[in-house]
Amino acid sequence: MLDFVTVSDPFVRAAVIAGIICLGFALALLAAIVTLRLVNRLEQKRQERFVGRWRPVLAAYALGERELRPPPLARRDHARILQLWNAHYEILRGSSVNQGLGDLAANLQLERIAHRLLARGKLSQQLLAATALGHLQDGSAIAVLLPRTAHPNPLLSLAATRALLNIDAPALLPELIPRMTARSDWPERRLATMLQDLGPRVVTAPLLAALPQLQPEQRPRLMRLLHTADQSHVQHLVRELLLTEADPDLLASALDLLQDPRGLPAVRELTGHASYFVRVRAARALGRIGEEEDVARLVALLADPNWWVRYRAAQALATFPGLDRGRLVALRATLEDRFAREILGQALAEQT
């Protein structure tokens, strides 16, 4: 081998050096692969033993058997216990179960563990910690969770938000709503579920109070969350917006919320809006709350240039109260516009 290295041909020298470097790295990688395989195997077995040891303990505490003494908990198992505890808490819901698991958490000082992992753990551990602090309703965690609602990672920021709402929704919701409307990387459906879980009594006032204070571009998002609020308080706001607002996104969101027939004049006006997605919502709204005179408007929308407007108008007609199938089939036969006939045919077929 040394002979190769001392060969005067620079090409050979360069190639051999490159080759030796490759060989060196290859051997190192081989060692790393084998080591990793062994470590992972050991880790897997440890996980199995841990779950086997702790699952009965959590089950016992959940059933109220608080006399059972938990086994010692090693520092390296802190994330595991949080994961197991969270899973049990979420599956076995119920006040007595929560009480039992809360007692176990106090016994194990899970709050302290969660605080530590939230401060210094990797992302998956921080998620576990934030979730646990929410379940534990630890008021002392508010100060550390609030800054994390601004974390760039959407998973962690959402988990922190959810935890805060679990801890003290009435007090914290006003502060969290602007973040909910500003973060486009927080799925709206996720936010809606969180708000639904809190209930209209908790969310209505903060949501309505937040609307005038938001930036114009954030308002449509909040409007889309208003279906979780008490609709008796929301409808007058919706009617007002439909009459006064010009922003198409806001109008579309308001149309989706409208249930009050007193908003019909505004809806009828909006069936001619320049933005197709406003016309789509207007068609749907007419289908929900429209009167007999609105059938003609919906028929006119069957010939709209936009497919989605035609489709929603056809769906609205197909489910319109008082319009039976026979009447709709007869109506279809009178339509001169081919696209109108086609789309109404599709909507009727979907009803069968």
Is 187 near other proteins (CB under 8 A)? yes
Look up tokens 């002979």; give the residue: 3
Is 29 near other proteins (CB under 8 A)? yes
- Residue 5 or 209 having the CB closest to other proteins: 5
Task: Decide: residue 192, CB within 10 A, 0-12 exposed, 13-18 middle, 19+ buried.
Answer: middle
In the shown chain, the binding pattern of residues 4 to 23 toward other proteins, with x for contact by CB under 8 A and - for none, equals x--x-x-xx-xxx-xx--xx
| CA quadruple 263, 261, 253, 249: dihedral, nearest 10 | -30
- Rounded CA-CA distance 318/145 in Å is 49
- Residue 30 or 171 having the CB closest to other proteins: 30
The 8-class DSSP code of residue 103 comes to: H
Of these, 109, 193, 213, 232, which contacts other proteins (CB under 8 A)?
193
- Pick the closest to residue 220 from 255, 271, 191 (CA basis): 255
Part of the chain binding other proteins (CB under 8 A), chosen from 56-64, 69-77, 116-124, 273-281: 116-124
Report how far Cα 273 is from the mean position of its chain's Cα atoms: 31
Is 307 near other proteins (CB under 8 A)? yes
Of these, 48, 65, 175, 185, which contacts other proteins (CB under 8 A)?
185
- Pick the closest to residue 301 from 338, 272, 336 (CA basis): 272
3-state secondary structure of 69: coil
Is 106 near other proteins (CB under 8 A)? no
- Rounded CA-CA distance 315/70 in Å is 59
Is 182 near other proteins (CB under 8 A)? no
Q: Which residues bind other proteins (CB under 8 A)?
A: 4, 7, 9, 11-12, 14-16, 18-19, 22-23, 25-26, 29-30, 32-34, 36-37, 40, 83, 122-124, 127-128, 131, 153-155, 158-159, 184-185, 187, 189-190, 193, 307, 310-311, 339, 342-343, 345-346, 349
